[in-house]
Structure 1
Amino acid sequence: MDSFQNEKKLYGLIGYPLGHSFSMEYFNEKFESENINAEYMNFEIEDIGDLMEVIAEYPNLCGLNVTYPYKEQVLPYLTSIDDAAKAIGAVNVIKITRGPKDNDVELRGYNSDTIGFMKSVEPFVNENRKKAMVLGTGGASKAVTYALRKLGIEVMLVSRQKSAATHTYDELTKAMVNEHKIIVNATPLGMFPHTDTCPDFPYRFLCKSHLCYDLIYNPDITLFMQKSKAAGAEVKNGLEMLLLQAFAAYDIWTK
């Protein structure tokens, strides 16, 4: 029993690719500075089907973060899902609980993205910023949309693909952009190493009363942020959200 208690706990990140991620550095620095007997690893898997192999190969793995492109694809592999994550339709935190038998493993999914985003964007919300445009429709977009609606903000979804629930970039008018004073880039466009890309958004319609929030944190200033700032908008990257969701993830793993 003592040897089990003293065994180094392992946590990690699944996604593909993972060259952009700071999570491993952040958590390992945290573990070292706080004398926590744990390690954090990156698991760059090309297919979500490889998840169970990772869990079987590392019996001391206690928790995972989930990043692009698996926040939705991971759902069928989970034993259970937290109510908020179920409502969002995406998971970025998995708590792993193991029983006495090798195949007795429970995977419970949570979403700490919505916690991190809500806490980081709330100070920027005011009476003029009661409507938002969220660019992208993936797992990160779902978490952001959930958080904004929790804050009482009306959300318009924008995507390259037209659907009943979304507008396309071509459809965006000056009046529509002016009405929605919070613009969130929830796409991977602009993420390292593809730093010369950004959403095909009509940046010329922005003004100083807009907040343009990019969930990307590497690079510090994305092309989306550069173009938004040049048009006069206030800009923010996703680093604070990353840290806040990491705090929440660790609480989930250890509670």
Structure 2
Amino acid sequence: MREFGLIGRTLSHSFSQTYFSQKFHNLGLSDHQYELFELAAVQDLPVLLQQHPELYGLNVTIPYKEQVWPFLDEIAPSAARVGAVNVIQFASDGRLIGHNTDMIGFRDSLQTFVPAGFDGRALVLGSGGASKAVEVALRDLGIGYWVVSRNPLGSGLTYEELTPRLVQEHLLIINTTPLGTHPNVQECPAIPYGSLTASHYLYDLIYNPRETEFMQRGQAVGAQTKNGFEMLCLQAEAAWQIWNEEPLDQ
């Protein structure tokens, strides 16, 4: 049996198990399975590995994308660029290698969302591991941005500093926080929603629910919106390539 899985603190919202289980079924891989592993702390990872010697690969989600680094033997260039790990490769020699496919998934998904040649600026809501992947993708695409966080950042903004004018001047707004994830669907980042227009593009990395409160508030004024489901699929396919030692288009 070849076992794969997802580690995180709370995984009831995750679609990864369904995604990969369906993939294994479609490929006729009856000896493959994908499990959800909720860890109370990232320090529980070594015990998990001992208990599951058939593991061939792991995905990593909130809040362990940065905390998992000390437990890895090597960091791939993709994870080094982003500063976060969302895929762990189990190398044939036993080494654990950390990768990041969130950047690939977001970059490729964003390019199907905003118009070709988009020259506006972006606001990135949140400063966690997912935010770092978004930042790298935006830099690769030549899109300027501000990071908005609850805590003061050296080169970012706090939510208190996010004025209506700044929202009007930044036509792409990306939610990388977990606010609005099922079951807390009434939550959303605290931005001046009254300044949104039909010219805005709101991208939410959340995919459960399909339409978050953040997205609905944009839709109410005619803004274009997109959730993170396509990004999930794209990053999952990139993870599958890594686990099968296939080259990635990075």
Residues 107-138 of structure 1, C-alpha deviation per residue, up to 9 Å, x if partnerless?
Answer: 10100111110110012334454311000000
CA contact (8 A) 2:113 2:226 kept: no
Q: Larger radius of gyration, structure 1 or 2?
A: 1
Counterpart AA for 2:95 = E
Q: Within 5 A, what are the aligned runs for 1:1-255?
A: 8-36=1-29, 37-99=31-93, 105-126=94-115, 127-255=117-245
Residues 81-103 of structure 1, C-alpha deviation per residue, up to 9 Å, x if partnerless?
Answer: 1112101100000001254xxxx
Residues 171-194 of structure 1, C-alpha deviation per residue, up to 9 Å, x if partnerless?
Answer: 122321122111000000000111
Partner of 1:64, secondary structure, is strand
Alpha-carbon distance in 2 for matches of 1:177, 1:222: 19
- Flag structure 1 segments of 5+ consecutive residues without an equivalent: 1-7, 100-104
Alpha-carbon distance in 1 for matches of 2:38, 2:67: 15
Query: Residues 12 and 92 of structure 1: is their aligned pair in 2 closer, same or farther, counting only changes over 3 Å?
Result: same
Runs of 4+ in 1 over 4 A off after TM superposition: none
Residues 127-163 of structure 1, C-alpha deviation per residue, up to 9 Å, x if partnerless?
Answer: 4543110000000000011111111101100011122
Name whichever of 170-179 and 73-82 sits farther off. 170-179
Equivalent residues, number: 243
Residues 57-78 of structure 1, C-alpha deviation per residue, up to 9 Å, x if partnerless?
Answer: 1111010000011001111111
Residues 175-221 of structure 1, C-alpha deviation per residue, up to 9 Å, x if partnerless?
Answer: 21122111000000000111111100111111111110000000001
* TM-score normalised by structure 1 residue count: 0.92
Query: What root-mean-square deviation, in Å, do the aligned CA atoms of Structure 1 and Structure 2 show?
Result: 1.2
* TM-score normalised by structure 2 residue count: 0.94
Name whichever of 61-70 and 29-38 sits farther off. 29-38
